[in-house]
Chain A
Amino acid sequence: MRIPWRRFGILLFLLFFEPSEAALPIAQEYQIKAVFLYKFTDFIEWPESAFANRYAPFNICILGDDPFGKGIDVALENEKVNGHHVKIQRLNHIKKVELCQILFISVSEKYLMNDILTFIQRYPILTISDSEHFVIQGGMIQFFKQGNKIRFYIAPETAMEAGLKISANLLLIAKIVHRTPK
């Protein structure tokens, strides 16, 4: 058999010198999570009804103690989601939550989690938290640590019920959690 050296050579070249693939950096936990929030917007589709009008901002809200600091502002400044300018809102109150497209619920709110989730059930809001059992309690995306890397659970049914469409590519990377039927 003739060995396709040329092709093998190209393969080798790609493996070694693929220009886009630089060494992975090391980052603070919430810097990585902030970038995850940014990345999720590419893989999730919000219904038009999620926005008041075409010019309404895309609100990413942080409820409770803010673990991100400036990192999340940096990660999302001057970004747009489907033509909507991204704004970071820090909430200390659940009242205005209907204006959010993404709601990050801080661990500081873990004792209120059930109430918060029940309250926003009817809105097309992507709910994200680090809080333990978040997806089981009715949240959509829950970060967890595997070794020193960040992974996440997704509850696709919860998101679907809220009218959000999650791309299969995102589900491929996530750990899927199916809620047990009540």
Chain B
Amino acid sequence: MFKLKNIRVGCLTLFLAIIMPIYATEKDNEQRALINQLKKLSLEELIEVEIFNPKGGLAARKVQKLTQTAAALFVITQEDIRRAGITRLPEALRMVPGVQVARVSANKWAISTRGFNGLYASKLLVMIDGRTVYTPLRSEVFWDVQDTLIEDVERIEVIRGPGSSLWGANAVNGVINIVTKSAKETQGSLITTYVGQGEERAIVGIRQGGQLGNDVHYRVYGKFFEHDHFVNEQGEAQQDNWQMKRGGFRMDWGASEQDNLTVQGDIYHGFVKQNISVFQVQQNDSVNLNGLNLLARWQHDFSNGDIRLQTYYDHTRRDRLILDEIRDTYDLDFQHRWQPNEKQEFIWGLGFRYSQDEMDNTFILSYIPKKRQDKLFSAFVRSEFQIAGESEPFGYKSTGDLRLIIGSKFEHNDYSGFEIQPTIRLLWKQSDKQILWAAISRAVRTPSRSDSDIEYNTLSDAGAIRITGNHDFQSEELLAYELGYRFNPNCRFLLDISLFYNEYDKLRTGEPIDFISTPPTIIFEPDNQMSGEVYGLELSASWKIFNIWKIISTYSYLDTQLHLNPTSRYFVKEMEEDDTPHHQASLRSLLTLPHHLELDTALYYVDNVPNQNSPHYTRFDIRLGWHAWKNMELSLGARNLFKKQHREFGNGNSISTIMANEVRQAVYMQLKYRF
């Protein structure tokens, strides 16, 4: 006979029994409403319902549905990246309305949101898994070293408009959060290979995921790529090819039901080649790039909130012909979210960052002092209150819900001292289908090491120029007014509109302060002698017409008006108004065909950029994907199909040494194998 066994009642039941009474009534009603909603779905819909994942969601420092954010948020998913055949993170950003992506050369991008684009675009904060990659050297993002195995990216959250009340200084015009998958989601092995011409020549990536015991998941990856060169206006090859080796790991430990520990790190080594003009003599510079980072994050969930503690170390080194830079950053970040009930929520946090650098100065470019240690202290609070309407669990079945969000970041940095960056937002959920939001925020771009300490000697057409740092350079300031509307009538259609009016003050200018006669040299220093307005509109619509066909289109309009102070003698005048295209549009189509085929096309239009001598252009990308077997995917694709080459950005009026090149047509073949 079969032997019967006693079955023990485990700790989980016990745990639920203890927890349940604490938030019985309110949570019960929520749960009831949600379950009734789920019960009304068909089976086909039910399998599409997403699991609430409290470990995700970085854009608002908390978990949130896209359609419920009181900010201009756009999310690029792994599926978007895969179907567009994207191999580099900055290239994915072309999909986002209101983001300006222009390739300056094979390894340089000018990327900004809501204007002020440039090779050293300073008003966009970028983070990868919570680690900031915005460098304080010259307030920019070195896009060439921001990379990972692209298949491991879960999503890219892009917020246009100030995110400074949560993320602090320099999130002036936008915040980009690149989020990689948890190790649990990247189990098994992946081999990815890519061969092409025009952009990457070859990419080889390998990832191995595994499990240690029941609760620890890990992955390790390695990647190598070699990128083709771009061309000049005449179509001649330029020396701006580059390559990089990179490796990394991530470990996620679900220590308990409530605790999660993530440890991750990357290491890379490579070079980029660039044509530079030093004293009007063109030279080729091979820049060595090295870096490594290590991050640990612990999250503990309570029944009505969570706490998160994160720390990281980041080391970068760039050896250029005219300057070597070594930078080490240590960062500590704590936050506590507390949601006593559906009607209110509080988040507060504290942060500390220590960044030290060491420059190997040359006569052309130097920083004084040569070494510098900077400390950044920060704190933020944010609270959300329901001021009218019914509470609604997980954001559906609503009968109108008006929420007020107020918050601010308080920071102290070694350049401009104390900074306050508040925001006030209103979110009105008219129903589960329509949302209206409005916001007024203040943000600052704090002075960079360059603004304060640079000494740069160059030759212009008008003679010798020296730029020296200004210790009294102040933060650039923004007061932003935003309005947004989302229409989500069903899960097939989403329309997102945002309008903004940005008022800037104390914008950076270069002011002549002195003249030396031998040799004749004009000395400039950065100053804050410009104000301006930028206003615009961003639209995006995604429409799943059939289960097999989805189209996504975006449009954005932007206009910049700058005003120099009467006392200013900025040689560039107000020409930076024309650094950003007025109109941008895109149309993507994702079509699933029989026989496991996918046909994906993307059309991008970018208006001319007069100040960078770049005419308007239309680019067309196409990809044919074939899931040959369950675990093997083959893609063939082409980028910039319409034109053999085109210019996206130039040297403009900047006194940069970098020479701009033109983007080429590219073709590729990609093979991914999972086992």
**Chain A residues with a Cβ under 8 A of chain B:** 15-18, 21-29, 31-32, 34-36, 38-39, 43, 63-67, 69-71, 74-75, 90-95, 106, 108-109, 112, 115, 118-119, 145, 147-151, 169-170, 173
| B51 and A16 contacting across the interface, CB-CB below 8 Å | no
Report A-chain residues with C-beta under 8 Å of the C-beta of B595: none
Question: B40: nearest residue on chain A (CB-CB)?
Answer: A20
Q: Which residue of the partner chain A has the closest CB to B431? A: A22
A66, B12: Cβ atoms closer than 8 Å: yes
Which one, B2-10, B108-116, B288-296, is touching chain A? B2-10
The answer for the CA separation of A66 and B14 in the assembled complex, in Å, is 9
Chain B residues whose CB sits within 8 angstroms of the CB of A17 once the complex forms: 489
Please tell me which one of the listed residues B8, B51, B67 contacts residue A28 in the complex, with CB atoms under 8 A apart.
B51
In the bound complex, residues from chain A placing their C-beta under 8 Å from that of B5 are: 94, 112, 115
Which residues B11-70 have CB closer than 8 A to chain A? 11-13, 16, 20, 28, 31-32, 34-35, 37-39, 41, 43-53, 65, 67
Q: Is the CB of A24 within 8 A of B491?
A: yes
Task: Report which of B2, B13, B39, B47 forms a contact with A65, defined as CB distance below 8 A.
Answer: B13
Q: How far is the CA of A125 from the CA of B50 in the complex (A)?
A: 29
CB of A36 within 8 A of CB of B46, answer yes
- Distance between B162 CB and nearest chain A CB, rounded to angstroms: 27
Query: By DSSP majority rule, is chain B's interface helix, strand, loop, or mixed?
Result: mixed
Tell me the total A-B contact number using a CB cutoff of 8 A. Answer: 151
Cα A34 to Cα B489 in complex, Å, equals 26
List 8 contacting pairs A-B, 8 Å CB cutoff, sorted by A.
A25-B37, A27-B49, A34-B35, A39-B43, A74-B31, A74-B35, A148-B53, A149-B50
**Of B49, B50, B432, B492, the contact of A15 (CB 8 Å cutoff):** B492
Do A32 and B46 touch (CB < 8 A)?
Answer: yes
The answer for the CA separation of A108 and B9 in the assembled complex, in Å, is 9
CB of B488 within 8 A of chain A? yes
Q: Are B39 and A75 in contact (CB under 8 A)?
A: yes
The 9 tightest CB contacts between A and B, nearest first, are: A65-B10, A21-B490, A35-B38, A65-B12, A148-B51, A25-B396, A69-B16, A26-B52, A29-B51
In residues 405-455 of chain B, which contact A (Cβ within 8 Å)?
A: 432-433
Is B545 interfacial (CB 8 A cutoff)? Answer: yes
Cα separation A177 to B502 with both chains bound (whole Å): 58
Contact of B47 among A29, A43, A173 (CB under 8 A): A173
Additional pairs, 20, CB under 8 Å, beyond known A28-B52, A108-B8, A150-B49: A15-B545, A22-B396, A22-B490, A23-B432, A25-B38, A26-B49, A27-B50, A27-B51, A29-B52, A39-B43, A67-B12, A70-B28, A74-B31, A74-B32, A94-B7, A119-B4, A148-B50, A148-B51, A149-B49, A173-B43
Q: How far is the CA of A64 from the CA of B6 in the complex (A)?
A: 10
Q: Are B432 and A70 in contact (CB under 8 A)?
A: no
Asked whether B46 lies within 8 Å of A22 as measured between CB atoms, the reply is: no
Q: Please determine whether A91 and B7 come into contact, CB atoms closer than 8 angstroms.
A: yes
User: Once the chains are docked, how many angstroms separate the CA of A18 from the CA of B489?
Assistant: 8
Interface pair A25/B395, CB less than 8 Å apart: yes
Q: Which single residue of chain B is at the shortest CB-CB distance from A67?
A: B12
Choice from A43, A69, A149 contacting B20 with Cβ under 8 Å? A69
Cα A112 to Cα B53 in complex, Å, equals 30
Contact partner, B51, options A15, A39, A145, Cβ 8 Å: A145
A149 touches B2 (CB 8 A): no
B394 on the A face (CB < 8 A) = yes
Q: Given the complex of chains A and B, what is the CA–CA distance between A158 and B55 in angstroms?
A: 37
Residues B41 and A24 in contact, CB atoms below 8 Å apart: yes
| A64-B10, A94-B4 as given contacts; A24 in contact with B50, CB under 8 Å | yes
Whether A16 lies near B28 (C-beta < 8 A) is no
User: Is A16 touching B12 in the complex (CB atoms < 8 A)?
Assistant: no
In the complex, which residues of chain A have a beta carbon less than 8 angstroms from the beta carbon of B543?
15
Cα A48 to Cα B67 with chains together (Å): 47
Residues of B close to A75: CB separation below 8 A:
35, 38-39
B493 beta carbon closer than 8 Å to chain A? yes
- List the A side residues contacting B43 at CB < 8 Å: 39, 43, 169-170, 173
In the complex, the answer to whether A16 meets B493 with C-beta atoms within 8 Å is: yes
**In this assembly, does B374 line the interface, its C-beta being within 8 Å of a C-beta of chain A?**
no
Chain A neighbourhood of B11, CB < 8 A = 65
Residue of B4, B43, B545 ringed by the most chain A CB atoms within 10 A: B43
Chain B residue nearest to A119 in the complex (CB):
B2
Counting CB contacts under 8 A, is B472 at the interface? no
**Closest partner residue, chain B, to A79 (CB atom):** B39
Q: In the complex, which of the residues A31, A43, A169 contacts B34, with contact meaning CB atoms closer than 8 Å?
A: A31
Contact of A22 among B8, B13, B433, B545 (CB under 8 A): B433
B395 CB contacts on chain A under 8 angstroms:
25-26
Contacts of A15 in B (CB 8 A): 492-493, 543, 545
Do the beta carbons of A24 and B12 come within 8 Å of each other? no
Contacts known (A34-B35, A65-B13); A93 close to B493, Cβ less than 8 A? no
Min CB–CB distance A28 → chain B (angstroms) = 5
Interface residue ranges of B371-397 to A (CB < 8 Å):
394-396
CB closest residue in chain A, given B184: A145
Cβ of B233 < 8 Å from any Cβ of A?
A: no
Q: Does B236 contact A (CB under 8 A)?
A: no
- Chain A nearest CB from B113 CB (Å) reads 26
Please give the distance in Å from A173's CB to the nearest CB on chain B: 5
Residues on A with beta carbons closer than 8 Å to the beta carbon of B2: 115, 118-119
Identify the interface centre among A26, A32, A36: most chain B CB within 10 Å of its CB: A26
Bound Cα distance A63, B53 (Å): 26
Q: Which residues of A contact B432 (CB under 8 A)?
A: 22-23
Q: Indicate whether B215 reaches chain A with its CB closer than 8 angstroms.
A: no
- By beta carbon, the residue of chain B nearest A22 is B432
A31 touches B50 (CB 8 A): no
Closest to B493 in A: A16
Once bound together, how far apart are the Cα atoms of A43 and B44, in whole Å?
13
With A39-B46, A74-B32 as known contacts, state yes or no: A27 contacts B489, CB within 8 Å: no
Q: Are A31 and B7 in contact (CB under 8 A)?
A: no
